[in-house]
Amino acid sequence: MILDSKIPSGPLEKKWDKHIMDGKLVNPANKRKYEVIVVGTGLAGASAASSLAELGYTVKAFTFHDSPRRAHSISAQGGINASKNYQNDGDSVYRLFYDTVKGGDFRSREANVYRLAQVSSNIIDQCTALGVPFAREYGGLLANRSFGGAQVSRTFYARGQTGQQLLLGAYSGLSRQIGLGNVQSFPNNEMLELVVIDGHARGIITRNVITGAIERHSAHSVVLATGGYGNVFYLSTNALNCNVTAAWRAHRKGAVFANPCYTQIHPTCIPVSGDYQSKLTLMSESLRNDGRIWAPLKQGDKRPPNQIPEDERDYYLERKYPSFGNLAPRDISSRAAKEACDDGRGVGETGLGVYLDFKDAIARLGEDTIRERYGNLFDIYHEITGESAYQQPMRIYPAVHYTMGGLWVDYNLMSSIPGCFVLGEANYSDHGANRLGASALMQGLADGYFVLPYTLPHYLADVPRDPAPPTDHLEFVKAEEDVVERTNKLLDNNGKQTVKSFHKRLGKIMWDKCGMARNKAGLEEAIKQIPELREEFHADVRVPGTVKDLNQSLEIAGRVADFFELGELMCRDALAREESCGGHFREEYQSEEGEATRNDAEYAHVSAWEWKGKDQPPEHHKEPLEYESVKLATRSYK
């Protein structure tokens, strides 16, 4: 398989314009003859579905949620980046591009990232026009805040609910198109298989999670905007129903999976409190604008934080990275927290925590200002821990948050299956080995509003204008049979152990061996353990209920089954990448100071894995990353 990135020729700044001009168009009168399935209605899916419908295509939008508005994008707190330079602080398209490439530890495609930075401004215009109530200054203009990995203030936000407001904006546009009859909406429908006919993606098989009905849907193209796979770790900041199934099913049908091992561990989450814990709650990175992170200098210091004097506190980020300080990127901040805890200086009952302290900011700005900026986050913290962060520092610890890896796509966002496009967190495209804060929302909306509407027509223009394939086509029949067989097998298994118990065990292997720090021996062990656990799962899992009813156990069982296969691939990828970069930290490859050591000579590539069958190892492909504009450098935030 040859992975052709289809990056346009010419200077970086001109590539996208040139690509648009070179792309084929679909005649306005013909657009409605093309049917497009969009799976997922988060920022990426909702913006894509509504934009394609506005253009005149016939769109069907699927989500397993009961409403498009419930997609996980709704939970994003902190903000969305754009190179507006409204603050006059030296921002530009190039700077946003550069920060993002550098933040990603030089493991992303230049051309994609540049395009992202180019369209970022339009996103803010678009969302404002839709009525997104971004934070404003007293003069009525839009406000900004800073996020990690940048020295300019380019992050737009809506209190601590930016994702919610952006999604509600995109959802309102989608709702309008549904009301007009341009989009047919399929809530409560989970995609369980991709249908590929003559090498092209032409449909999906779904299960209605309320009625249990299994259905076939055909189209001229399938767009997957199904989010990230952080829940492979069991505990993460993701919503509980986030999963990899749509992407994984496409992978098994030929879509290559890129950089699966690049996982983002977010530095500021509320620490685990007990075995019953079902998820981890993020405390937005925006808090690092005013909060200072520290751990006690002395090991095993059990004094309450307010009794530890200044000179016995280690503000380790400020110490190690004086120019970025508390706004060092996430991968670096997370590892620094782990180091402090590994060193016996962690706080809280478990010793797995550090402090995020607002004392100085409250003294400087007053409690009211802090309340206005972060009130809802402080409230969430209080609800969960029963502690007030106005009076004592928050306790935080890193947690799995985002997956940079995903289905491989070319510059057009098309996967290695023609006709199957992948947007948002589900693709791997723009964040390299580490995503900067406030860039995922930007990417999801860029993909849906401003990239796919230009690149999808180029593909469709060559697809005959015949109706979409009939759903009694053999490939549909086979795909549906697969789904039914898989489902029945889970239900008829009559084992003893619950799905959740298996998911927890898988998560523990992943966290221990493929989490914040990885090494060869651990990864090799995980690659042995995971298939064993998977066998045990298929032999002994108990899934109660029937296929015909609303059956949450069945839904989760299918997702966990796919997580097993993905988890193994992540470990393989982590093992194959013998360097440290961004969120992928191999203990063997670090500097004396414990910083990640990249190996550009051998690993400046995208790792892309091709499914070769159930009992075969996947085939490893490499897409070289060529840097024309940026000079590869050691990332420094000192």
Ligand X SMILES: Cc1cc2nc3c(=O)[nH]c(=O)nc-3n(C[C@H](O)[C@H](O)[C@H](O)COP(=O)(O)OP(=O)(O)OC[C@H]3O[C@@H](n4cnc5c(N)ncnc54)[C@H](O)[C@@H]3O)c2cc1C
Q: Is the dihedral of CA 313, 319, 325, 326 positive or negative?
A: negative
Of these partners, ligand X, other proteins, none, which one is at the site of residue 42 (CB under 5 to 8 Å by kind)? Answer: ligand X
Helix intervals (H) in 162-286:
162-179, 245-252
Task: Report the C-alpha gap between 573 and 203 in whole angstroms.
Answer: 29
Q: Could you tell me the two tokens for 612?
A: 């070769």
Whole-angstrom Cα distance, residue 420 to residue 37? Answer: 10
Q: Which does 44 bind (CB under 5 to 8 A by kind): ligand X, other proteins, none?
A: ligand X
Give the CA-trace dihedral at 324, 329, 331, 332, to 10 degrees. 0
Q: Which one of ligand X, other proteins, none interacts with residue 444, CB within 5 to 8 A by kind? A: ligand X
- Residue 100 CB, nearest approach to ligand X (Å): 11
Q: Is 42 in the site for ligand X (CB under 6 A)?
A: yes
Q: Tell which one of 85, 144, 177, 226 touches ligand X (CB under 6 A).
A: 226
Are 73 and 447 within 8 A, CB to CB? no
**Contact between 155 and other proteins per CB under 8 A:** no
- Applying the rule CB under 8 A, the residues between 537 and 596 that interact with other proteins are 542, 544-545, 549-550, 552-553
Question: Which of ligand X, other proteins, none has residue 327 at its interface (CB below 5 to 8 Å by kind)?
Answer: none
Per-state percent for the chain, helix, strand, coil, to nearest 5: 40, 15, 40
Question: Closest Cα to residue 484, out of 157, 203, 212, 185?
Answer: 212
Binder to ligand X among 5, 51, 63, 164 (CB under 6 A)? 63
Q: 498: closest CA among 550, 536, 532, 530?
A: 536
Is residue 556 part of the contact set for ligand X (CB under 6 A)? no
Cα distances from 224 to residues 138, 185, 188, in angstroms, run: 41, 15, 16
Residues 487-546 that bind other proteins (CB under 8 A): 496, 498, 500-501, 542, 544-545
Region 168-207 residues binding ligand X, contact defined as CB under 6 A: 190-191
350 binding other proteins? (CB under 8 A): no
Is 490 among the residues that bind ligand X (CB under 6 A)? no
| Partner in contact with 586, chosen from other proteins, ligand X, none, beta carbon below 5 to 8 Å by kind | none
- For the CB of residue 217, give the shortest distance to other proteins in the complex, in Å: 19
Pick one of 28, 140, 304, 624: the residue that binds other proteins (CB under 8 A): 140
State which of residues 12, 38, 44, 74 lies at the interface with other proteins (CB under 8 A). Answer: 74
Tell how strand 541-542 and strand 394-403 pair up.
Answer: unpaired
As a whole number of angstroms, the distance between CA 19 and CA 429 comes to 17
d(C-alpha 63, C-alpha 455), whole Å: 23
Binding other proteins (rule: CB under 8 A), the pick from 23, 30, 56, 84 is: 84
Among positions 385-404, residues that touch ligand X (CB under 6 A) are: 401-402
Q: Which is nearer to ligand X, 80 or 575 (CB)?
A: 80
CA distance 81 to 120: 7
How many residues does this entry show for the chain?
638
CA distance 194 to 41: 17
Nearer to other proteins, 158 or 356 (CB): 158
Per rule CB under 8 A, count of chain residues that contact other proteins: 79
Is there binding between residue 66 and other proteins (CB under 8 A)?
Answer: yes
Q: Which of 189, 218, 241, 487 forms a contact with other proteins (CB under 8 A)? A: 241
- Binding of residue 161 to other proteins (CB under 8 A): yes
38 forms part of the interface with ligand X (CB under 6 A): no
Beta strands in 504-561 (DSSP E): 541-542
With a CB cutoff of 8 Å and minimum separation 6, the contacts of 613 are none
CB of 464 to other proteins, least distance (A): 27
The answer to whether 617 and 623 are in contact (CB under 8 A) is no
Interface with ligand X, residue 62, by CB under 6 A: yes
Q: Which of 92, 453, 519, 600 binds other proteins (CB under 8 A)?
A: 453
- Do residues 406 and 427 make contact, with C-beta atoms less than 8 angstroms apart? yes
From 45-53, 100-108, 387-395, 456-464, span contacting other proteins (CB under 8 A): 45-53
Least distance (Å) between residue 570 CB and ligand X: 17
Stretch that binds other proteins, among 269-277, 334-342, 428-436, 507-515 (CB under 8 A): 269-277
387/364 Cα distance (integer angstroms): 22
- β-bridge mates for residue 608, sequence order: 258, 621
The reply to whether 77 sits near ligand X by the rule CB under 6 A is yes
Q: Cα–Cα distance between 169 and 182 in angstroms, integer?
A: 18
Q: Which does 538 bind (CB under 5 to 8 A by kind): other proteins, ligand X, none?
A: none
**What's the burial of 125, exposed, middle or buried (CB within 10 Å: 0-12/13-18/19+)?**
exposed
80 binds, among ligand X, other proteins, none (CB under 5 to 8 A by kind): ligand X
- Whole-number Å distance between alpha carbons of 343 and 618: 38
Give the position of tokens 């093992």. 575
Count of CB atoms within 10 A of residue 619's CB?
12
Choosing from 21, 28, 90, 278, the residue that interacts with other proteins (CB under 8 A) is 278
Stretch that binds ligand X, among 19-27, 236-244, 540-548, 584-592 (CB under 6 A): 236-244
In the set 87, 208, 281, 392, which binds other proteins (CB under 8 A)? Answer: 281
Q: Is 80 an interacting residue with respect to ligand X (CB under 6 A)?
A: yes
Task: Kindly give the residue spans of alpha helices, DSSP state H, lying in 355-395.
Answer: 359-365, 367-385
Phi-psi region of 198 (alpha: psi -120 to 50; beta: other; left: phi over 0): left
- Pick the piece of the chain touching other proteins (CB under 8 A) from 20-28, 136-144, 396-404, 626-634: 136-144
Q: Is residue 214 near other proteins by the rule CB under 8 A?
A: no
Q: Which of residues 361-380 bind other proteins (CB under 8 A)?
A: 380
The reply to whether 441 sits near ligand X by the rule CB under 6 A is yes
251 binds ligand X (CB under 6 A): no
Binding residues vs ligand X (CB under 6 A): 39-45, 62-65, 71-73, 75-80, 162-163, 190-191, 225-228, 237-238, 242, 245-246, 282, 401-402, 424-426, 438-441, 444
